[in-house]
Amino acid sequence: QAKALGRNTFASFQPKMEAQALYRLSLEARLRAAVQNQELELYFQPKLHTREMRLIGFEALIRWHCPEHGIVSPGEFIPIAEQSDLILDIGEWVLNEACRQLVKWRELGHDQIGMAVNLSVKQIHQPNFIDSIAALMEEYQIPDGLLELEITESMVIDNIDTTIAVLEALRQMGVKVAIDDFGTGYSSLNYLRQLPADTLKIDQSFVAALHDSPSDLEIIKTIIAVAHTLNFMVIAEGVEDLKTLNILSEVNCDEVQGYLLSRPMPAELVESFLQPAHINRLYEALNS
Ligand code: C2E
Ligand code: MG
Ligand code: MG
Ligand code: MG
């Protein structure tokens, strides 16, 4: 670490920072056109109810097909979008697109499938946010409990009173609330017990090495115990292998999500993923 820092003297660091700033600027300019140019696409990743071995829904994850940079991951462009009002346009597009897909799957007969959508902090603090979600539920006729909105732990702590009011209003409308990346923020038990949320989503950093890290397992057990005491469901993200699934199921983790089930996939692939023959093969593989 010290050695790496030593190499990055101020003089050699400067041009790199400039290049990064330029990259950001060019990304931001391109991103502005992306919504209009239909360069954004939602991918979907399945979620499984652990005990019942049942598919419960999908999380929508945005992808950007940038003509200049290829596929850009949300980790790269969402933070840039969040620095301006761009995130509001993108967020609105995501919510509409996710609901449109959900309705399509419902029309194909998958009427128990839910949809989880990630939100940005700017979105939930818009004065018309609650109304816009109500309008969405109305427009797409989404039954209670099928739309879930994910906000990160750090978003909650930022502005706790407003956030609690917003989350409460959402839940009264039949929208579920999940706290994403849980364990990476700094929420105290005091915050946690006030939170109007349905689900805690354990961050994948606690899940990744679960099978050979006794301390990570203890952390996960503790999170699950606290969550269940406070009446939250628990979902683990980043589940990549059967061994991890089995451990999580042993410690009563309610739901799992990760590459083990599927990588996030475009909508066309979801339709074949949902075919009974495919689903049954998946359940068999997971039960083995
Ligand atoms: P997140 O909501 O915590 O999503 C989980 C991330 O982990 C996704 O990355 C997903 O592809 C990845 N992942 C899923 N299963 C596994 C696994 O088994 N192993 C590993 N190593 N990774 C796995 P992705 O799609 O790149 O998204 C990154 C983040 O970008 C998301 O984290 C979320 O915070 C944000 N994001 C994605 N879509 C949106 C969106 O529509 N709006 C907003 N505001 N943020 C979004
Ligand atoms: Mg998420
Ligand atoms: Mg997460
Ligand atoms: Mg994340």
Q: Return the amino acid letter for 253.
A: C
Average pLDDT over residues 19-41: 85
Q: Do 245 and 209 meet the contact criterion of CB atoms below 8 Å apart?
A: no
pTM of the model: 0.93
| Ligand 1 within 6 A of CB of 238 | yes
Strands (E), the chain: 40-49, 54-66, 70-72, 114-118, 147-152, 176-182, 199-202, 233-236, 255-257, 265-266
**Which distant-in-sequence residues (6+ apart) come within 8 Å of 235 by Cβ?**
47, 178, 199, 200, 201, 202, 253, 254, 255, 256, 257
Query: How far is it, in rounded angstroms, from Cα 112 to Cα 270?
Result: 15
Q: Predicted confidence band at 4 (pLDDT cuts at 50, 70, 90)?
A: very low
Average pLDDT over residues 62-84: 91
Taking the CA of residue 87 as reference, the ligand 1 atom at the shortest distance is 44
Task: Say what the pLDDT of residue 7 is.
Answer: 46
Mapping DSSP onto H, E and C, the string for 163-198 reads HHHHHHHHHHCCCEEEEEEECCCCCCHHHHHHCCCC
What spacing in Å lies between the alpha carbon of 63 and ligand 4's midpoint?
Answer: 14
Q: Is the pLDDT of residue 104 over 60?
A: yes
User: Which of 13-17, 224-228, 243-247 is predicted least confidently?
Assistant: 13-17
Least Cα distance to 156 among 115, 114, 200, 116 occurs for 200
| Ligand 1 within 6 A of CB of 153 | no
Q: Is the pLDDT of residue 191 over 60?
A: yes
Average pLDDT over residues 64-92: 92
Go through the chain and tell me how many residues it has.
288
Average pLDDT over residues 225-230: 96
What spacing in Å lies between the alpha carbon of 3 and ligand 3's midpoint?
Answer: 32
In the chain, how long is the greatest CA-to-CA distance?
A: 62
Task: Say what the pLDDT of residue 20 is.
Answer: 77
255-257 vs 40-49, strand pairing mode: antiparallel
Q: Predicted confidence band at 218 (pLDDT cuts at 50, 70, 90)?
A: very high
Task: Say what the pLDDT of residue 12 is.
Answer: 53
Least Cα distance to 130 among 164, 173, 98, 160 occurs for 173
